[in-house]
Structure 1
Amino acid sequence: MFKRAPMLIFGLAHDFFGFHDSGNHLNDNEVFHDRDIFLEDYKEMNRSFKIYVYPHRRNDPFANVLLPVNYEPGGNYASESYFKKALAKSHFVTRNPSEADLFFLPFSIASLRHDKRVGVGGIQDFIKDYIFNVSHNYPYWNRTNGADHFYVACHSIGKLAMDKAAEVKVNAIQVVCSSTYFVTGYVAHKDASMPQIWPRKGDPPKQEISKRKKLAFYAGAMNSPVRKNLVQTWGNDSEISVHHSRLKTPYSEALLTSKYCIHAKGFEVNTARIGDALYYGCVPVILADHYDLPFADILNWRSFSVVVATVDVPVLKKILKEIDFDEYLRRQNNVLKVRSHFQWHHFPVDFDAFYMVIYELWLRRSSVRGSLSALL
């Protein structure tokens, strides 16, 4: 299906067998797996990639679900809305479906969840009916049974939303934040991981390394065994600062004064903590097994983060202490290089989160280009 295979195979095996990141890997100095290939592909993507968005009127009863929001997105699941707003303003959209590489199913899981006419319990039926209408009113779905279609969802309920539309889950490209290849419903390489990013205004802050006194930091709700184990093990430590609830002091201050910022799995493998860490120049520590990390087809996560198996929580300090200061500086410097890829903008900016998601979609464009004229 892919015209250029994603470059994740080693990373998947590494995480699956539970090895922690020792830092001794080939080419770990490089932020990109292959920068030259990425830039070559990126240029071609900008030149030729086209997406057809199923059209809906502004007076549609569910315009709030199907059209981009007319306000500034916020909160934990803003990535979904930012993508849709950015796509609508981009040069990738075509009104001519015969030249489209992919077709966008523009329903918003977050909006459906909050719509009193639908709610959590009605999302599956809404999606089922939507796909029925698309497949009966347009010829495009039926050419590939949806393999050249995609939807975007940041809330974890997005995976369950397809339970009554199995053809979407099996065939379409699912661009989701809760991207774990350990459970049924997400297929690495077919589907794509999108970062969960809390929107922030302005340029990221600068902080001198000498002011990062804490070894590591975590704060959050205790909604998973991983987080409970983390707090029970390191809750009273003088170098690793972990908290079982929200901080009473500014969250940003803790991120700016720590060398490493811990992303610990909650209900799902994803949270906004990776985006938070990158924004504040803190090296992320990934405590979430089987997480298909965002943009892992493009970025070498070992160059700017530390991946630790959840079973290794008791030796977390040892793992971090074994990373010498020069190695920490290299990773922290790479954090500053990659964080622009984890930011949304009102109008897309080259190489930002929108363009990185688009590139992941470009890698997954179908090689099957049926002739519309034969179907019409």
Structure 2
Amino acid sequence: MTNSSLILHYFSHHRLSFKTFFFIPTTLALVTTLFVLFYISSTSHLLHFNHHHTHIVSVSRKKTPPGSPLFPDSGHSVSKYHRPLVDLSKRSGGGGRNASQRSAGVELGSNGNCMNNTKVFHDRDIFREDYKWMNRSFRIYIYPHKRNDSFANVLLPVDFEPRGNYASESYFKKVLMKSHFVTKDPTEADLFFLPFSIARLRHDPRIGSPGIQNFIRDYIVNISRKYPYWNRTDGADHFYVACHSIGRSAMEKAWEVKLNAIQVVCSSSYFLSGYIAHKDASLPQIWPRQTDPPNLVPSKRKKLAFFAGSINSPVREKLLQFWRNDSEIYAHFGRLTTPYADELLGSKFCLHVKGFEVNTARIADSLYYGCVPVIIANHYDLPFADILNWKSFSVVVATLDIPLLKKILKGISSDRYLLLQHNVLKVRKHFQWHLFPVDYDAFYMVMYELWLRRSSLRLQLSPSSDSS
């Protein structure tokens, strides 16, 4: 009782101190909350920009050997392996930027000046050094199949020169099979190639589109039983290549392929649940051409922009709605009355507009004919985005900005256009296939993307673990 009385007597004479006891932590909590809110508001724009578009790649900065050949582009870039911000659909507010700045892919510094987007490579020196390292050391094991295999037409390369809209898939396999990257010793392999062809499966009357999922499921079961390689990593060091859009649903009965293996696909959209950016890679859709690319000086390109194609998406319907009868933007739907090549050659900008998928061969067409591609396809993980700075040779327009397309394109200065077109001529060699590959062509660029994705953990196989 005495102690209790003393405590009550103390607080009765120190009421101000008692209130202060509760006031101090309350004040501290309020100040902390205000500080946190201020910090979040000042950094939210940075978080928004970098959330999904930064690719961190572990690279070896080897010193370039003396006498090594110079890479064609001698410039330096300030960024290293940053993915381009292509998904503009969530940035309709623009953060204070007008439509032409938001859609033309122009990044502004804090003072409003344009940042450096003139170089075609994120980092030319790292790419050059890694490219040589890849050429020396990268090894791929291909699951073997014989000519008398009942599905040899699906598992082996075609015996003719690939052609058509989905030729990239066949070109890659045909060239890979004869390349120095292939090893017959799985113990030294960095990656394992699943050689089935989605395009060939689609046309095989025994399988067809409905049977592809079952075929893939059974194929994975077979190799996992016959060989030890798949089971070591659940397929994380395996990859397949597909260009036809049906490839996006081909793995529905083999989810371990979709989730673990590297998918090198033309239908490379962030919007698709089956495509995992940075694990998977974008394959360029390229229409094969045998001749050297033509050249036409910019001053002779009289049309502002050109598009030709079928109406097979809401995005193309919107383009048609606003620009079908325009005198400067030529939006054609149906059969052209003039040669397609002439239209591409005569235009400053060539429109790549999302159809059924985000991808078409129109980007490669534009580059081949020296026309600056305008990409109107939200969520498109652009080919070779780990290597190439797309903002230096293309224009990205959000689909919501289609009504402002002419304003955006005319807002690009003459100097900026000449730089874009000059860079188009630099990068187009990376979007060409050759039966006998040429350094830095499409085949080698795909190989480099695969090399970046090779496992950092190399599991050693003992000879006794190999199956016959």
Are 1:57 and 2:140 matched, yes or no? Answer: no
Task: Give the match for residue 363 of structure 1.
Answer: 452
User: Aligned partners of 2:86, 2:202: CA distance in 1, in Å?
Assistant: 32
Shift of 1:182: 1.3
Shift of 1:4: 4.1
Q: Tell me the secondary structure at the aligned position of residue 372 of structure 1.
A: coil
Are 1:11 and 2:94 matched, yes or no? Answer: no
Task: Give the match for residue 106 of structure 2.
Answer: 23
Structure-to-structure mapping, 1:234-313, within 5 angstroms: 234-313=323-402
CA contact (8 A) 2:84 2:389 kept: no
Query: For structure 1, which runs of at least 5 residues remain unmatched after alignment?
Result: none
User: Structure 2 vs 1, CA of residues 166 and 174 (structure 1 numbering), >3 Å: closer, same or farther?
Assistant: same
Question: For 1:140-192, what per-residue CA distance to the aligned partner results, in whole angstroms no more than 9, with x for missing partners?
Answer: 00110000000000001111000000000000000000100112000000000
Are 1:152 and 2:241 matched, yes or no? Answer: yes
Shift of 1:27: 2.5
Task: Give the match for residue 98 of structure 1.
Answer: 187
Letter in 1 for 2:261: A
Task: Give the match for residue 83 of structure 1.
Answer: 172
User: Aligned partners of 2:459, 2:390: CA distance in 1, in Å?
Assistant: 37
Pick which of 211-220 and 24-33 moved more: 24-33
User: Aligned partners of 2:437, 2:89: CA distance in 1, in Å?
Assistant: 32
Task: Give the match for residue 210 of structure 1.
Answer: 299
Shift of 1:367: 1.4
CA contact (8 A) 2:281 2:449 kept: yes
CA contact (8 A) 2:359 2:380 kept: yes
Task: Give the match for residue 418 of structure 2.
Answer: 329
Shift of 1:246: 2.9
User: Aligned partners of 1:345, 1:22: CA distance in 2, in Å?
Assistant: 31
Shift of 1:209: 1.5
User: Aligned partners of 1:14, 1:244: CA distance in 2, in Å?
Assistant: 26
Q: What CA RMSD, in Å, does the superposition of the two structures yield over aligned residues?
A: 1.6
Shift of 1:360: 0.2
CA contact (8 A) 1:2 1:366 kept: no
Structure 1 segments, 4+ long, off by >2 Å, are: 1-19, 21-27
Task: Give the match for residue 18 of structure 2.
Answer: none
- TM-score between both structures, scaled by the size of structure 2: 0.78
Shift of 1:224: 0.3
Q: Tell me the secondary structure at the aligned position of residue 293 of structure 1.
A: coil
Question: For 1:223-280, what per-residue CA distance to the aligned partner results, in whole angstroms no more than 9, with x for missing partners?
Answer: 0011011011001111100011231210000000000000000000000000000000
Are 1:66 and 2:155 matched, yes or no? Answer: yes
User: Structure 2 vs 1, CA of residues 14 and 221 (structure 1 numbering), >3 Å: closer, same or farther?
Assistant: closer
What is the aligned length? Answer: 376
CA contact (8 A) 1:182 1:290 kept: yes
Q: Tell me the secondary structure at the aligned position of residue 184 of structure 2.
A: coil
% identical aligned pairs: 69
Task: Give the match for residue 351 of structure 1.
Answer: 440
Larger Rg over CA atoms:
2
Shift of 1:8: 3.5
Question: For 1:97-127, what per-residue CA distance to the aligned partner results, in whole angstroms no more than 9, with x for missing partners?
Answer: 0000000000000000000000000000000
Shift of 1:210: 1.8
CA contact (8 A) 2:82 2:122 kept: no
User: Aligned partners of 1:15, 1:90: CA distance in 2, in Å?
Assistant: 41
Q: Tell me the secondary structure at the aligned position of residue 130 of structure 2.
A: helix
CA contact (8 A) 1:68 1:81 kept: yes
User: Structure 2 vs 1, CA of residues 214 and 87 (structure 1 numbering), >3 Å: closer, same or farther?
Assistant: same
Shift of 1:369: 1.6
CA contact (8 A) 2:315 2:355 kept: yes
Q: Tell me the secondary structure at the aligned position of residue 169 of structure 1.
A: helix
RCO (CA 8 Å, sep 6+): is it higher in 1 or 2? 1
Are 1:109 and 2:174 matched, yes or no? Answer: no
User: Aligned partners of 1:66, 1:269: CA distance in 2, in Å?
Assistant: 27
CA contact (8 A) 2:84 2:391 kept: no
CA contact (8 A) 1:3 1:364 kept: no
